[in-house]
């Protein structure tokens, strides 16, 4: 039987946050519930984790609404997230207790997950960066810009949700590739960060009455690549600006996550795709699993050299997670949003 600090497990109790009811429209606190429950037994092929960080990401809202690359969430189920965690117990041949891993788990203090749902972490950089820069957000930006879009020097790349966890990295990677990065966000304060801190060439506010005109003015030579985190009316505004052989990278559709049913597709999408020979492609970072180590080394080197700036918002305590997701869906975050549940292990405080 596993033991934690001398206490046999299971059962022992921990805190978690579940979906209380399925949202209809805008996300509110009533859609979440905090519970104290027993940690479930660990089977022979599972790992018991003590979570140190959990992520707050738009995917949590999407899966509350409907199926994505995982099944739709049901009331009473834990809000899913990426985690950084300490291994408490594992099967023979698995990670050593006390080792730090990344994983797919949820908003809870402890998690029991299949061995296949965790991965080792190289001890480099800040531990929280393994949720953002060196985690799925950074990898999404990296593969979306370099592999899917194949951005080239001299091109114009538009990024929506450009101040978010993925977007703020995607635009910088486009700039590093020699492209002209144009950022779209929901507030001028965010756009100022994009221009002043991250090197975006120009920006546009999607909430401005003159958004379409402002975006067109920012892209006098048209758009070669659109890195789409939003979908909806923003995609409608970008489509007419795309140049022949332009590429659309489909990363997220946050504009429709609060909708009870998917909105109709952008008007004239098929016509635009055909007339301009456009390429529109979605992807998952798991598609590039074998290339993760190389990508993480590249991303860390860019950050260490000062070429890439990481923005993150780390909040303390599990109870802050629902409000953080609600604020994110309302456009209230900048960079990677994460919740700290426990202090960084001492060995990570000096990691390089």
Distance, in Å, from the CA atom of 109 to the CA atom of 53, rounded to the nearest integer, reads 9
Instruction: Tell me the per-residue pLDDT of 97-148, one tens digit each, with 9 for 90 and over.
Output: 999 999 999 999 999 999 999 999 988 889 999 999 999 999 999 999 999 9
Distance, in Å, from the CA atom of 306 to the CA atom of 233, rounded to the nearest integer, reads 35
Check pLDDT > 50 for residue 5: no
**pLDDT score recorded for residue 150:** 97
Range name among 4-13, 38-47, 136-145, 268-277 with the lowest pLDDT average: 4-13
Mean pLDDT of 21-34: 93
Mean pLDDT of 281-298: 93
Q: If we measure between CA atoms, which residue out of 314, 316, 349 comes closest to residue 333?
A: 314
**pLDDT score recorded for residue 338:** 95
| Backbone φ, ψ for residue 180 (5° rounding) | -95, 115
Distance, in Å, from the CA atom of 71 to the CA atom of 69, rounded to the nearest integer, reads 7
Check pLDDT > 70 for residue 254: no
Res. 10 pLDDT band, cuts 50 70 90: low
Check pLDDT > 70 for residue 2: no
**pLDDT score recorded for residue 1:** 43
Does CATH place domain 136-286 in 3.40.50.970? no
| CATH number for region 2-132+310-348 | 3.90.180.10
Domain-by-domain residue ranges, the chain? 2-132+310-348, 136-286
| H or E element that contains 88 | strand 80-89
Mean pLDDT of 52-81: 91
**pLDDT score recorded for residue 69:** 78
Bigger pLDDT: 334 or 70? Answer: 334
Check pLDDT > 90 for residue 75: yes
Check pLDDT > 50 for residue 3: no
The DSSP code for 5 is: T
Contact 91, 46 (CB under 8 A): yes
**pLDDT score recorded for residue 261:** 57
Given its phi and psi angles, is residue 331 left (phi above 0), alpha (psi -120 to 50 degrees) or beta?
left
Instruction: Tell me the per-residue pLDDT of 204-251, one tens digit each, with 9 for 90 and over.
Output: 999 999 999 999 999 999 999 999 998 888 999 999 999 999 999 998
**pLDDT score recorded for residue 66:** 83
Q: What is the mean pLDDT of the chain?
A: 90
- State what percent of residues in the chain have pLDDT above 70: 91
Q: Where are the beta strands (DSSP E) in 121-208?
A: 156-160, 180-185, 202-205
**pLDDT score recorded for residue 8:** 40
Check pLDDT > 80 for residue 257: no
């Amino acid at each position: 039987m596993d033991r934690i600090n001398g206490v046999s497990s299971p059962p022992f109790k921990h805190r978690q946050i579940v979906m209380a009811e399925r949202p209809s429209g805008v996300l509110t606190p009533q859609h979440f519930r905090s519970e104290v429950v027993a940690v479930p037994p660990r089977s022979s092929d599972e790992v018991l984790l003590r979570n140190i960080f959990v992520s707050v990401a738009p995917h949590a809202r999407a899966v509350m609404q409907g199926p994505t690359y995982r099944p739709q969430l049901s009331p009473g189920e834990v809000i899913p997230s990426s985690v950084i965690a300490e291994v408490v117990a594992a099967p023979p041949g698995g990670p050593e207790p006390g080792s730090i891993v990344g994983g797919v788990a949820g908003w809870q203090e402890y998690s029991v997950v299949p061995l296949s749902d965790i991965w080792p972490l190289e001890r480099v950089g800040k531990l929280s960066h393994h949720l953002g820069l060196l985690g799925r957000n950074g990898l999404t930006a990296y593969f979306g810009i370099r592999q899917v879009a194949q951005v080239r020097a001299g091109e114009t790349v538009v990024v929506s949700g450009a101040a978010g966890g993925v977007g703020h990295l995607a635009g910088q990677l486009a700039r590093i590739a020699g492209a002209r990065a144009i950022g779209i966000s929901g507030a001028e304060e965010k756009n100022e960060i994009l221009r002043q801190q991250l090197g975006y060439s120009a920006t546009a506010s999607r909430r401005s009455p003159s958004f379409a005109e402002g975006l067109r003015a920012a892209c006098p030579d048209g758009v070669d690549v659109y890195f789409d985190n939003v979908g909806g009316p923003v995609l409608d505004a970008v489509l007419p600006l795309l140049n022949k052989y332009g590429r659309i990278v489909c990363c997220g559709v946050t504009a429709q996550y609060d909708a009870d049913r998917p909105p109709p597709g952008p008007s004239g999408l098929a016509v635009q795709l055909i007339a301009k020979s456009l390429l529109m492609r979605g992807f998952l970072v798991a598609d590039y699993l074998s290339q993760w180590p190389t990508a993480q080394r590249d991303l860390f080197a860019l950050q260490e050299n000062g070429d890439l700036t990481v923005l993150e918002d780390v909040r303390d305590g599990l109870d802050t997670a629902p409000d953080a997701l609600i604020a994110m869906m309302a456009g209230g975050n900048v960079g990677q949003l994460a919740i700290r549940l426990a202090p960084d292990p001492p060995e990570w405080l000096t990691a390089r």
